[in-house]
Amino acid sequence: MEYVYAALLLHKLGKEVNEANLTSVVKASGAEVNDAQVKALVAALADVNIDEAVKAAPVAVAAAAAPAEVAGEAKKEEAPKDEGKTEEAAMEGLSSLFG
């Protein structure tokens, strides 16, 4: 993950995302550098428009948040069903526990 963060930092600062710069940032963070991972990330990002990838990321997050909101609404709809019980019915259930 530190390699991706380093690439994003370099991009944000307007620096070229290359092996030397990426290695320098990862070393500066205190992490050990794996040259194979650095080379793989640089190769993977060669044809990627980082600005477009970053802009697309919030859309995926918002889409993932939508089902959670729908589930929250479903729970809200279920709550009134429990309110339909009367106090008397609740007491009958309680008295059956204690005989």
Q: List pLDDT tens digits, range 31-87.
A: 999 999 999 999 999 988 988 888 888 765 555 666 666 566 655 555 555 555 666
Structurally, how many domains does the chain consist of? 2
In a domain, 94, yes or no: no
Same domain, yes or no: 43 and 73: no
Same domain, yes or no: 38 and 65: no
Cβ–Cβ < 8 Å for 25, 15: no
Containing domain of residue 37, as a range? Answer: 1-47
In angstroms, rounded to a whole number, what is the distance separating the alpha carbons of residues 70 and 44? 36
In a domain, 85, yes or no: no
Q: What is the DSSP letter of 14?
A: T
Model's pTM, two decimal places? Answer: 0.56
